[in-house]
Structure 1
Amino acid sequence: MRVAGAPISWGVCEVPGWGHQMAPSRVLAEMRELGLAATELGPRGFLPADPRERDALLARDGLALAGAFVPALLHEPGHDPLPEVVRAMDALPGGAVLVLAAATGRDGYDQRPEPDAAAWAALLDRLDAVALLAADRGRLATLHPHVGTVVERRAEVERVLDGSAIPLCLDTGHLMVGGTDPVALARSAADRIGHVHLKDVDAALAQRVLTGDLGYTEAVAGGMYRPLGRGDVDIAEIVSTLEAAGYGGWYVMEQDTVLTAEPAPGAGPRDDVRRSLAFLAEATR
């Protein structure tokens, strides 16, 4: 299995005020101890900005860089996001996936505006432009449907699939929270999946977020994301469907969490990641 980790599983997040932020030295060491092969980049400032320093730090723990989550303002007609996106793309090593999110321009993921037709036209055009720029550089760019962004709900995911050619990052958790069945999407659009984030989800909490009864950040802090096999997403079916369709990319373990303090040595989020890895190994035999 091509299994990577993500700093958000250790509570490291780009959202201001998200919670306690663990140091990269501990997060990367725990990834290595768990046997993960790679990590995603994490938020700005988590790893060194200089690619040589970053790659040396990752090499110390035997980790490749699987991808980078890059929120970008893609839908505003008067704003050109391409220079910023290209800089982020060019800073990645070969093989690392650019994982775009269609940011709203607001901090956090608890509220979002409804874009109009002009904004949607700009978004779809820019998604195709990014995909082409990536291909010209021998790279892969994907769009991550994500709660609190312009592309969150099922109709919006379908609009991207119908109106652009960019591959998707299939995030099993964000899709479910946004009202998309991740198993059905894996089956119907396997040829459009360029990157995968594996999350399990408490469906009851996800439904409360979908209906607006509960804020996203509050739901994450309340344990909406579960270790694999302990929620309501059929992770094994998703992986087997994608493997049968020829998917050859990373499976990134993500159980987003909010920490209030530094975990004691040998404790903390690593235990949930270990449980997820054990489930994934058993489920994919």
Structure 2
Amino acid sequence: MTSAMPATPTPAGRPLVPAERVAAAPISWGVCEVPGWGHQLAADRVLGEMRDLGITATEFGPDGFLPAGPVERSALLGWYGLRPVGGFVPLVLHDPGHDPLPDLARALDSFGDARTVVLAAATGLDGYDGRPVLDGENWAALLRNLGRAAEHAAGRGHLATLHPHVGTVVERREEVDRVLSGSDVALCLDTGHLLIGGTDPLELARSAAGRIAHVHLKDVDAALAEAVQTGRTGYTAAVRDGIYRPLGRGDIDVPGIVRALEGAGYGGWYVLEQDTVLSAEPGQGGGPRDDVRAALAFLRGEAA
């Protein structure tokens, strides 16, 4: 079960993370690859609000959110003063009869110079509210294909990381451990998805720091996380109900995690992700940007 974690104190006025290593993600504005997820904001609004908040880098978001061509994509982000960090690529890795490399190759065609590929071990189903149980053959295929995907990405100048993610086939702690012991692929440490899946993200940051190459920073309502774990509510419903909180307003020890990573020599990105579901277009000057602003203030040491 999930329980609240005592937070490591953050001195007021002292930034927790260097501003030049903070990036955003369109999912904080409700932009998601899942069909029927919610109202989808246009790129010009999302990117403009990132710029207005002083953010200088972002992940790509789902297919169709940005132009597919790497030159056009880079030009659009540059117009808003944003550097491309990389993007989320869900792949079916566990099916012995399916080759994930063509799907990965198509995704990488849009990456340009963006380095980080955030892989998820997708179920092959839409959404994140159900998942299959893998047998030994499935696990062998997953680990084999994960290595192949990382090698393919590296051959094209990108770093592949695996993102343990609710509603994928690598969600729970025993599954994370199986990837750690059965492969040498780097991890994306997503503080929220790990906690909801039953992994203490602070403990993982301490025990596996050398495998962590990318970070998604989230804060989480532990009571809602427990409801997802026990099946009392579905994941999508929990996101709609506010399972993700602005940094510092949930139950994850974000300062402790950052300090553990920095102390171990982590030098990568911290991507702000507060997944949300929108029912309609927010009024100008409000909506998701307020939560992102609060998270940025926390990282800058400005939050109470």
- Which TM-score bucket, shorter chain as reference? over 0.9
Matches within 5 A, 1:117-156: 117-156=136-175
Give identity over the alignment, percent: 68
Q: Report how far residue 281 of structure 1 moved.
A: 1.3
* Pairing 1:93-108 to 2, within 5 Å after superposition: 93-108=112-127
1:236 and 1:283 in contact (8 A); partners too: no
With 197-206 and 275-284 compared, the bigger mean Cα shift is at: 275-284
What residue number does 2:189 align with? 170
Q: Using the TM superposition, give the Cα deviation of residue 249 of structure 1 relative to its aligned residue in structure 2, in angstroms.
A: 1.1
Cα contact 2:190–2:215 (8 A) shared by 1: yes
Pick the aligned partner of 1:184 from 197, 200, 203.
203
Give 3-state SS (helix, strand or coil) of 1:66's partner: strand
CA positional deviation for 1:118: 0.4
1:283 positional shift? 8.1
Given that 2:192 and 2:220 are in contact with CA atoms closer than 8 Å, whether structure 1 keeps it comes out as yes
Per-residue deviation, 1:108: 0.3
Q: 1:93 to 1:244 in 2, by over 3 A?
A: farther
Query: In the alignment, which of 208, 227, 244 is matched to residue 225 of structure 1?
Result: 244
Partner of 2:60: 41
Q: Provide the C-alpha distance between the structure 1 equivalents of 2:117 and 2:55, rounded to a whole number of angstroms.
A: 20
CA distance in 2, matches of 1:19, 1:87: 26
Equivalents in 1 of 2:186, 2:128: separation in Å? Answer: 22
Offset of residue 36 of structure 1: 1.1
- Count how many residue pairs are aligned between Structure 1 and Structure 2: 284
Matches of 2:70 and 2:112, distance apart in 1:
8
Partner of 1:30 in structure 2? 49
SS at match of 2:85: strand
Distance, in Å, in 1 between the alignment partners of 2:70 and 2:114 is 14
Work out whether 1:87 is the aligned partner of 2:106: yes
Question: For residue 88 of structure 2, what is the amino acid of its counterpart?
Answer: F
Q: Deviations over 1:183-227 (max 9, x none)?
A: 000000000001100000000100110111110000000000000
Normalization by structure 1: what TM-score? 0.97
Corresponding residue of 1:77: 96
Q: Return the alpha-carbon distance in structure 1 between the equivalents of residues 254 and 86 of structure 2.
A: 21
* Residue in structure 2 matched with residue 15 of structure 1 by the alignment: 34
Question: Is the deviation greater in 93-102 or in 255-264?
Answer: 93-102
Question: Which of the pair has the greater relative contact order for Cα pairs under 8 Å at 6+ separation?
Answer: 2
Q: Distance in 2 between matches of 1:95 and 1:42?
A: 13
How big is the shift at 1:86?
2.4
**Deviations, residues 4-40 of structure 1 (Å, cap 9, x unaligned):** 0000000001111111100000000000111112111
Of the structure 1 ranges 214-223 and 127-136, higher mean CA displacement relative to structure 2 is found in 127-136
Q: Corresponding residue for 1:234?
A: 253
Instruction: For structure 1, list consecutive stretches of 5 or more residues without a partner in the other structure.
Output: none
For 1:275 and 1:101, how far apart are their aligned partners in 2?
A: 28
Q: Does 1:58 align with 2:62?
A: no
Pair 1:109-2:128 in alignment: yes
Q: How far did residue 81 of structure 1 move?
A: 0.5
RMSD: 1.2
The offset of 1:50, in angstroms, is: 1.2
Greater shift after overlay, 96-105 or 85-94?
85-94
- Cα distance in 2 between the residues matched to 1:63 and 1:204: 35
Where in structure 2 are there 5+ consecutive unaligned residues?
A: 1-17
